[in-house]
Structure 1
Amino acid sequence: MTRRRRWPAALALLAAMVAPALVGTAAHASPETPRALKMHDELMVEVELHVQHREEVLTALLDAAERHAADVGQRSARLAALGYTGDLTKLEYVLPVQDYRLTAGFGESGPHWASVHTGLDFAAPLGTELVAVADGIVTEVAYAGPYGIRTVLTLQDGTEVWYNHQLQPLVFEGQAILIGEPIGLLGTTGNSIGPHLHLEVRPGGAAPVDPRAWLTERGLTP
């Protein structure tokens, strides 16, 4: 079945409404003259083009609606698989990893760090999947010295979210990422004493803020 057959009733009605108005302009000429016949044929072509354009617009609208519905369904299924419930179409933020324990907070100091701790550490088994906390664009995937393998996800408001010490990244620079999609695998690269995600949050790409407070403000409980 072709796309065009999706609108038989609407197209028939449109043709019935448009054709008389267009053909009526040739009513003063004799239908037996070549000029009148030519005008009639030209008007019929115009009607057909108008109907075809209308059909293409309606088809494009239907296709867009179908794609949107599919995207919403995939999003909800992805977030449900991560354990989230409720109206998942309205969920804007999620935690970066599941089944973890917090091992170090923001601002702590000690022998493990050259200065104060600038992130929040989520310990979990090596290879645990890390996910996007929100929609964004991947702006860096690189080995970053003491941070190990780092992926930077820049959110729509300009906030940078750093995923550090990864075992392996699963995205590439410039990639658009949706909430809950995989970012990488939790690891222990760089300056690390065990498998964990060192998460940093930097509004506008500036100095880091407390990830725990940032997540809490968005309705999450790390």
Structure 2
Amino acid sequence: MIKVTVWNENRHEKKNPVVGDIYPNGIHGTIAEFLTEAGFEAGTATLDEPENGLTDEILNNTDVLIWWGHLAHGEVKDEVVHKVHQRVLDGMGLIVLHSGHFSKIFKSLMGTSCDLKWREAGEKERLWVVAPSHPIVEGIGEYIELAKEEMYGEHFDIPVPDELIFTSWFEGGEVFRSGCAYNRGNGKVFYFRPGHETYPTYHNKDIQRVIVNAVKWAQPIKSNRPVYGNSQPLEKLSLNN
């Protein structure tokens, strides 16, 4: 069974009653609930827990980590970011949602500012599938339409994705690379744009399906981790002295 940890700041839910009404168990609780229903072993972790909720024990028992952050990126401890970064390089999957584009962990894995345009106006978003054969979009039609979302617009300062899965169009005219897949070391990273806290995006069945598919895609593959460093030859060397 795939083990998933859903990490969330859990700050908006406490400060904004609108968010609390939409996600009474927190964004992390809502995501963990539909992942459990999908057959995963899903747990949660939040910013204000010891070690930001990501102890060695939790990280070492996580196949795929899902990350939602916004208000308090700077409060995540650098040593926790370093541990998560290393776990990704070692094979753990990472799914970064919405405003997690500015998280320390995503920026460290991308090596760029990860900046973008934004506007909160409750406008329509249409996420077009641009990689219809990719496993992340299994069961999804040509596009996903959300009646109200926050706008993110290009230019999105990220490395060119290894695979681009979704491109969004917004009612105001902007477009955005909304589903970006990367390989980092032995791990996989997927950035998925939708999920502003004041809209019920994570209750949308298509959005849930994408996240479920992304967990399956990002899970560590069953193979021996490559050995790095000084290496002995596989064949006998013929050395000319």
Q: Which band: TM-score by shorter chain?
A: under 0.3
For normalisation by structure 2, the TM-score amounts to 0.23
Structure with higher RCO (Cα < 8 A, 6+ apart): 2
For normalisation by structure 1, the TM-score amounts to 0.25
The answer to which structure has the higher helix fraction is 1
**Which of the pair has more CA radius of gyration?**
1
